[in-house]
Structure 1
């Protein structure tokens, strides 16, 4: 191996290390990456499951993970700080307005309690509807942190689960499996993605057993457990109205609309973060790339933006690997050629 080959290999190692570190740091719920998931199938080796067992750091937020029993909880966050963070999220105007209304309702409820005035039952369980990648998991984590800040929840963690994490294959096993998930979620939010899949698929299906166990827990632990169910709008509407128990406990619906091209462009720039810089002549090309891809109904909103970002990184890495020397600016810059290569508009 000559000296030039050795230099190229060293550059590749540096590029690979920086790329992996930046992608890990940028993994967030904006693109559907949960911190705590149960029974979820990972989208990629470095995705959900790579993070779910990571212990919380010293500056971890209440919604980031499930604290150990002996671990001291961080103090609740200030509601003002949470509201500022909420308002900084891209898009989601209707959802933000609903959350603001909910916070006001809870605060007034608490004030009435303090003054000895009668209060009505307050349902904090929620239904999130919308297409994949529209920020539902991110908002579920935010709600866990908000409820902790308002004194509704004692821990404020988020536990994400789907049908596979709740339903077993034999009589009696589903209730035990679901109960374990509920115990993990106590003091926080249980987030059930694609909850409509719990509806019985056959006469021998045990999804109803999971639903019954969850409904009982919602009644028994109403003071320290919030359940949020999520999925496609039409399917979730049918799911909730298929069961009187679900109808009576879930009466707050939040619709997560698809992101516009401008909003997805903003998400892409957030993806760049501090580790990457988008060249000025590359920006309109990225916008066109997003607009073209998002015209397909299966694009996936924020998750689709993540995929586009990662495709452009691959193109950048391939370009840098061919260079005799690589500067810090080279490592940070995403060029127009990188975007065109990612789109298949340029040959290698």
Structure 2
């Protein structure tokens, strides 16, 4: 009986070790799922400086972001080096078309500023953009780095990203939508307002207040055109219809960036990147199992969610690894870092069981 009790204690200790290590590894992974892993200390690569805070306009704003966005004394981070930001963008997996468009836009802005410095006539330039593509293709990630790039170029005074959607802008009563929308816009001044699924603001019927939100946003875009950039995002066709439905929108949003779905190979590389960030090592045969699982589950990029689908798959594999290790009496450090083909296979089986 004493032996059984001691064995139970050992198993509980190992479970606690697994739980702690897993939480530690997950916490080390950046919130920017699409980005390149941070350079290792002493590698000689430049470390990423603290970016401007990101504020959620739906009540989930972090304290630091709230302070900065509300105009309190929260320090605004200094502009980052443009070369570092461009290198970070290049380090993102996929997004080839978007990277080219962003570089072209940066060059346009730089020349525009040089003409201004040399006293040459300036053509009015709109930096507001439409991001279109399926879920999980990196739209929010690119919006975040665009805010930092504009801050680096001196176009925006703070460079924060404020993310919202219809629920963050539209109220349920007459006169309240404009107030609610203005609060979000005030938080975004000096940075980028990212409106996800922006087309939901339009076409809600005669009693809908979405148009009031659109009108309020357009007015702020005009009144604060020197220190506010708005990015509207959503599905391809729906975003086209949304922009063309309103002359004010059509005149201000004349830059369109399309985000392609990730290829299976790119999604495998995203999975590998998450392994590197979390100090996990993927067995050689496990990599093939991951690629097969992605191919099987990614029958519809919209429902799978591109990189978000990969993230969900990665988390399921970690759960299966934890279940496997919990059955062992002792667990070495190397085993805590290892992901096997069996872990991947069980992750696929668990998904099919949940779907039944």
TM-score (norm. length: structure 2): 0.88
Matched, 1:301 2:292: no
Instruction: Evaluate the alpha carbon distance shift between residue 301 and residue 269 of structure 1 in structure 2; reply closer, same or farther with a 3 A threshold.
Output: same
Q: 1:37 aligns with which of 56, 59, 64?
A: 56
Secondary structure of residue in 1 paired with 2:304? coil
Matched, 1:124 2:127: yes
Deviation at 1:129, TM superposition (A): 0.0
Deviation at 1:345, TM superposition (A): 8.5
Q: More deviation in 73-82 or 337-346?
A: 337-346
Instruction: Evaluate the alpha carbon distance shift between residue 324 and residue 68 of structure 1 in structure 2; reply closer, same or farther with a 3 A threshold.
Output: farther
Report the counterpart of residue 217 of structure 2 in structure 1: 214
Unaligned runs of 5+ in 2: 36-52, 352-356
Superposed CA offset, 1:65-107 (max 9, x none): 8586212222100101111111111111110000000000000
Secondary structure of residue in 2 paired with 1:210? helix
Report the counterpart of residue 184 of structure 2 in structure 1: 181
Q: 1:310 aligns with which of 315, 336, 343?
A: 315
CA contact (8 A) 2:134 2:261 kept: yes
Q: More deviation in 190-199 or 285-294?
A: 285-294
**Alignment RMSD (CA, Å):** 2.1
Deviation at 1:175, TM superposition (A): 0.3
Q: Which runs of 4+ in 1 moved over 3 A?
A: 29-32, 65-68
CA contact (8 A) 2:69 2:186 kept: no
Written as runs of structure 1 = structure 2, the 5 A alignment for 1:243-282 is: 243-272=246-275, 273-282=277-286
In 1: Cα distance, 2:102 partner to 2:224 partner: 22
CA contact (8 A) 2:170 2:209 kept: yes
Report the counterpart of residue 320 of structure 1 in structure 2: 325
Written as runs of structure 1 = structure 2, the 5 A alignment for 1:203-242 is: 203-242=206-245
Matched, 1:283 2:302: no
Written as runs of structure 1 = structure 2, the 5 A alignment for 1:161-172 is: 161-172=164-175
Deviation at 1:53, TM superposition (A): 1.8
Instruction: Evaluate the alpha carbon distance shift between residue 67 and residue 277 of structure 1 in structure 2; reply closer, same or farther with a 3 A threshold.
Output: farther
Instruction: Evaluate the alpha carbon distance shift between residue 227 and residue 261 of structure 1 in structure 2; reply closer, same or farther with a 3 A threshold.
Output: same
Instruction: Evaluate the alpha carbon distance shift between residue 200 and residue 296 of structure 1 in structure 2; reply closer, same or farther with a 3 A threshold.
Output: closer
Report the counterpart of residue 61 of structure 1 in structure 2: none
In 1: Cα distance, 2:32 partner to 2:243 partner: 25
Written as runs of structure 1 = structure 2, the 5 A alignment for 1:54-203 is: 55=64, 66=69, 69-203=72-206
In 2: Cα distance, 1:258 partner to 1:138 partner: 15
TM-score (norm. length: structure 1): 0.90
Secondary structure of residue in 1 paired with 2:322? helix
Report the counterpart of residue 340 of structure 1 in structure 2: 345
In 2: Cα distance, 1:268 partner to 1:135 partner: 15
In 1: Cα distance, 2:130 partner to 2:278 partner: 35
Deviation at 1:10, TM superposition (A): 1.8
Deviation at 1:3, TM superposition (A): 1.5
Secondary structure of residue in 1 paired with 2:97? helix
CA contact (8 A) 2:26 2:278 kept: no
In 1: Cα distance, 2:270 partner to 2:22 partner: 18
In 1: Cα distance, 2:336 partner to 2:104 partner: 45
Unaligned runs of 5+ in 1: 41-48, 57-64
